[in-house]
Chains A and B, each alone.
Chain A
Amino acid sequence: MELNNSKIKIKAKNLNVYYGKKQALFDINLDINQKEVTALIGPSGCGKSTFIRCINRMNDVIDICKVEGSVEIDGAEINEKNVDVVTLREKVGMVFQKPNPFPKSIYDNIAYGPIIHGAAENKDQMDNIVETSLKKAALWDEVKDRLNEPGTSLSGGQQQRLCIARALSVNPEVILMDEPCSALDPIATAKIEELIDDLKKSYTIVIVTHSMAQAVRVSQKTGFFHLGKIIEVDSTDKIFKNPANKMTQDYITGRFG
């Protein structure tokens, strides 16, 4: 399913996921290119969120969840027993549907990760990480004078950018976004989309979205999931102008059930 000569960052091979007896993903094979945005679309319950949770082993925290098959990042299998999930999640950050800042100051929200990972030796270094992360998330100018205020005092859009800054603070290589704009107004959404466009120069981004227009705007590659299977993966341009699969076409044109 590789489209061009871009380097593959993440490779899922024959991935099957079960929640107890219920199978949520069926034999997923999907390549995700480095420093590109890949959008995953599909109706609710189709498995797209389950899929991205396989990329940083978030499914490990669900007792009844069983993952079979392979997910490689830069050619290394992440499901090996000796893989440290904390290190993995440092490399693969995640942003969720609803902004979920810690009940701490803006500064501490960003500093939390680097403290855990021992990324800063002194206050100056930490200040630098906080400032850089907030700048990368296009939030610095709005919060630089109130870093000690609670993260929860920010607007929804600002909170989501704070969560993105928090993910960036530990120098990840991949950022997973699970419907990051669904709780935001159009202006806050536009800011996040602008940010995604900027971040893809340095990071590999996988975004789950229910907004077709958003997938078109932000991604270079799109995968359509349905009932736990990947139906079609292609360039975003192809998927939204001339998809090969009828199910994809029915979904994106609003002809679904």
Chain B
Amino acid sequence: MSGTGHTVKSYEEEMQSLNDNLVMMGSLTENQMADAMAAVIKVDKESVDKIVKNDGKINELRSTIDNQITTVLVKRAPMAVDLRITISTMKISHDLERIGDLAKSVAKKVKPLPVDLPDELIGSLRRLGDLVQKQLKDALDAYLNRSKDKAIEIWKKDEQVDDLTNLAMNEVATYLQKDKKNLEMATHLLFVTKNIERAGDHITNIAESLYYLIEGEYLEGARPKGKPVES
């Protein structure tokens, strides 16, 4: 008994390819999120089209992974850890694709924004974006290292994402109250904020899938929730 790779080499190669594609997808999603956040903070309208276009690559990879998983299921009837890898990879790839979509939506909101976005609106949004990007990076690292502890840490940290979201939304609401003419800009920024928060939720899903992959059990208990918005 080798205790390492599959006896059937082609099975080993199929699982490796699945892993490689997921890592690639993770890396592209990370870049998209970073680019989308940079576009918002700098109100860089020129980068928007490129970000929108790049989302297609993530979607393609998800289709590839879906097809690979179907093949593995039908050919190999995976068991135990292979079964858990297969199921988790499918779920994680879907979450990454959604994060990619949300990054694209964030980028699209940049075009109607005024170039001179007031600093008071950007502070919390920037911190929220930084945190979500860090969460995504940590989730992908945890996947590579099969780190259960890191998965739990990410899962718990979503509370901070919720708190920062609430803060950022409050700032926009306060700004809007000063002058109703800010309505259109405020609406776009609220969508941006909400989309980033939803990306955070998908990262929490990834942490849950990863935990299941490693432990063969589901993370128990209710998801951590941030404080509700104060009005």
* A interface with B by C-beta (< 8 Å): 212-213, 216, 240-243, 246-257
Q: B80 touching A254 by the CB < 8 A rule?
A: no
Q: B79 touching A255 by the CB < 8 A rule?
A: no
CA distance A251 to B1 in the complex (A): 9
Residues of B close to A250: CB separation below 8 A: 1-3
Residues of B close to A249: CB separation below 8 A: 80-81
Q: Which residue in chain B gives the minimum CB-CB distance to A239?
A: B80
Q: Indicate with 1 or 0, residue by residue over B189-231, a CB within 8 angstroms of chain A CB atoms.
A: 0000000000000000000000000011100000000000000
Known A212-B77, A241-B216; contact A257-B2, beta-carbon cutoff 8 A:
yes
Q: B77 touching A255 by the CB < 8 A rule?
A: no
Q: A241 touching B83 by the CB < 8 A rule?
A: yes
Q: A243 touching B80 by the CB < 8 A rule?
A: yes
Query: How many interface residues does B have (CB within 8 Å)?
Result: 21
Cβ-neighbour of A240 out of B2, B80, B217 (below 8 A): B80
CA distance A254 to B80 in the complex (A): 11
Q: B1 touching A252 by the CB < 8 A rule?
A: no
Interface CB pairs A-B, < 8 A, 13: A212-B79, A216-B79, A240-B80, A242-B216, A247-B1, A248-B80, A251-B1, A252-B79, A253-B6, A253-B82, A254-B6, A255-B3, A256-B1
Q: B3 touching A253 by the CB < 8 A rule?
A: no
Q: B80 touching A257 by the CB < 8 A rule?
A: no
Cβ-neighbour of B217 out of A242, A253, A254, A255 (below 8 A): A242
Taking each of B3, B80, B84, B215, which has the highest tally of chain A beta carbons within 10 Å of its own beta carbon?
Answer: B80
CA distance A212 to B80 in the complex (A): 11
Q: A242 touching B82 by the CB < 8 A rule?
A: no
Query: A201 to chain B: closest CB distance in Å?
Result: 27
Q: Indicate with 1 or 0, residue by residue over B60-97, a CB within 8 angstroms of chain A CB atoms.
A: 00000000000000001111111110000000000000
Residues of B close to A240: CB separation below 8 A: 79-80, 83
Taking each of A249, A255, A257, which has the highest tally of chain B beta carbons within 10 Å of its own beta carbon?
Answer: A255
Q: B216 touching A255 by the CB < 8 A rule?
A: no
Cβ-neighbour of B4 out of A241, A243, A251, A255 (below 8 A): A255
CA distance A255 to B5 in the complex (A): 6
Q: A253 touching B1 by the CB < 8 A rule?
A: no
CA distance A254 to B72 in the complex (A): 13
A-B contacts besides A253-B80, A255-B6, 13 pairs, CB < 8 Å: A212-B77, A213-B77, A216-B79, A241-B216, A246-B3, A248-B80, A251-B1, A252-B79, A254-B11, A255-B1, A255-B5, A257-B2, A257-B7
Taking each of A247, A248, A252, A253, which has the highest tally of chain B beta carbons within 10 Å of its own beta carbon?
Answer: A253
Q: A253 touching B4 by the CB < 8 A rule?
A: no
CA distance A255 to B1 in the complex (A): 7
Q: Indicate with 1 or 0, residue by residue over B1-42, a CB within 8 angstroms of chain A CB atoms.
A: 111111110010000000000000000000000000000000
Residues of B close to A256: CB separation below 8 A: 1-2, 7
